[in-house]
Structure formats: structure tokens, C-alpha cells
Chains A and B, each alone.
Chain A
Amino acid sequence: ILNVEQSPQSLHVQEGDSTNFTCSFPSSNFYALHWYRWETAKSPEALFVMTLNGDEKKKGRISATLNTKEGYSYLYIKGSQPEDSATYLCASHSGGGADGLTFGKGTHLIIQP
């Protein structure tokens, strides 16, 4: 079983500020790293799936980077807005694809107006 760690557990950010948080995962036998956004009373929705060391992906004000050699990924949010309030989950996928994902416990982000 992989151990996927996310930090911080929760984060309060002022509207307009930028923020980032971390996902660390075992680098051995790495296949893919997923980021999901999970709003209250909804289902998790995929933000990014990254597979290559050095990958950078961007969707609007949100971006993510991946370092597979040292086993970490950062998620960045630029100019936070209240609608960014959510729990952000990362998940690691190992072993060539047939196995399920191992999720971290998430970072709960609250944007204060």
C-alpha cells in the first residue's frame, strides 16, 4: 500500500492571495499522479493527471508540477477566489496502471472574502 501524504491539512487564505500545497508519494514504481477538487456535497472532479517527471499542467488559475524522482507534486492557485474553496485530493497510481489509486487525506482550502 502506498503512503500518500498531503500538507497542510487545512488552509485559510484571503481572497486574491495565491497559495500552494504539497502532495508527497513513494517515487518507486510510479505511474501517475492525480489531483482532484472536491466541493462540499459534490463528488471529486479531476483537475490534472500527470505522468512525466517535470510535468507542469495548468487550468485557468490552477497549476500543478510533478517531481517523480523525489516523490512530490505541488498544486498552485493564483489569485484565490471564494469558489476555490474545496478539498483538494491527490492520488498516486503505481504498478503500470491496473491497480487502483491511493489517495491522500486532502487539503481543505477555505478562501476568506
Chain B
Amino acid sequence: NAGVTQTPKFQVLKTGQSMTLQCAQDMNHEYMSWYRQDPGMGLRLIHYSVGAGITDQGEVPNGYNVSRSTTEDFPLRLLSAAPSQTSVYFCASSGDYNSHEQYFGPGTRLTVT
């Protein structure tokens, strides 16, 4: 199993550009989520999904869209990038409904200039 994979690893965007961060897992996990990690802050939840076709907002959803058309994939879309979205983005999945133990991807480092 590859686990949780994320692409790209690094990305530089200009303000106003849009892009999609890709996340995929091959563990047949129902639960997937996106976090951002900023200096001096903990991991903050952006959006999450409890299964295909179901998504919900986390703590910091503004400026981001998600969809979950398959169990495997959970892309994160930045509609119009802003410098405040410069961050490291982690995707995570969980297959255990009791514990929700998270399996994290390797992260995408995004810089918006």
C-alpha cells in the first residue's frame, strides 16, 4: 500500500491563481481530511469528508473547496490564492470509526506571492 499520497510536494502561486492539491489513499478509508500547518499554530482542520459524496467544513474553510466523488480521492481547491494561504497542507485519512486514528500524507508546501 502506498498509504496517503499528495501531489505536488511544492508549489508556488501568484496571488489570484487557482490550483488543486491532490490527495489519494489506497486503504479504503472512509474518513479523509485536510489540515494546514502554520508556524506557531497547531494543525488546523480545513475540510473533512466522512465518505464519498459527503463533505463538511472544519475550522478554517474560507478560500478552499473540496469534493469527494470517490473513496480514494479528496482534492483541495484554492479558488483565488492569497498570500495568507501560504502554508504546508496535510491530507489525512482514517478507517477506524471508533478511534479516528489519522494517517497523514507527506504534505504540500505552498507559497503564494
Contact = CB atoms under 8 A, between A and B. Distances in A.
A46 B106 contact: no
Given A4-B42, A104-B42, A93 B100 contact: yes
Nearest to B3: A43
B44 A103 contact: yes
A109 interface: no
Interface of B is mostly: loop
B106 A103 contact: no
B79 interface: no
Interface string B35-50: 1000011111100101
Contacts of B45: 100-102
A55 to B, nearest CB: 12
Interface residues of A, number: 25
Contact of A34 (B42, B58, B98, B101): B101
Interface size class of B (residues with CB under 8 A): 20 to 34
Interface in B37-77: 40-45, 48, 50, 58-59
Nearest to A90: B42
Nearest to A36: B102
Contact of A43 (B40, B41, B59, B105): B105
A43 B100 contact: no
A64 to B, nearest CB: 14
B33 interface: yes
B40 A105 contact: yes
Interface string A69-107: 000000000000000000001010100011111111110
A97 B97 contact: yes
A45 interface: yes
Contact of B33 (A4, A34, A46, A100): A100
Contacts of B102: 34, 36, 44, 46, 101
Interface of A: 1, 4, 32, 34, 36, 42-46, 49, 51, 89, 91, 93, 97-106
Given A101-B102, A102-B42, 14 more contacts: A32-B99, A34-B101, A34-B102, A43-B90, A43-B105, A43-B106, A44-B43, A46-B102, A89-B42, A98-B50, A100-B45, A101-B43, A102-B45, A103-B44
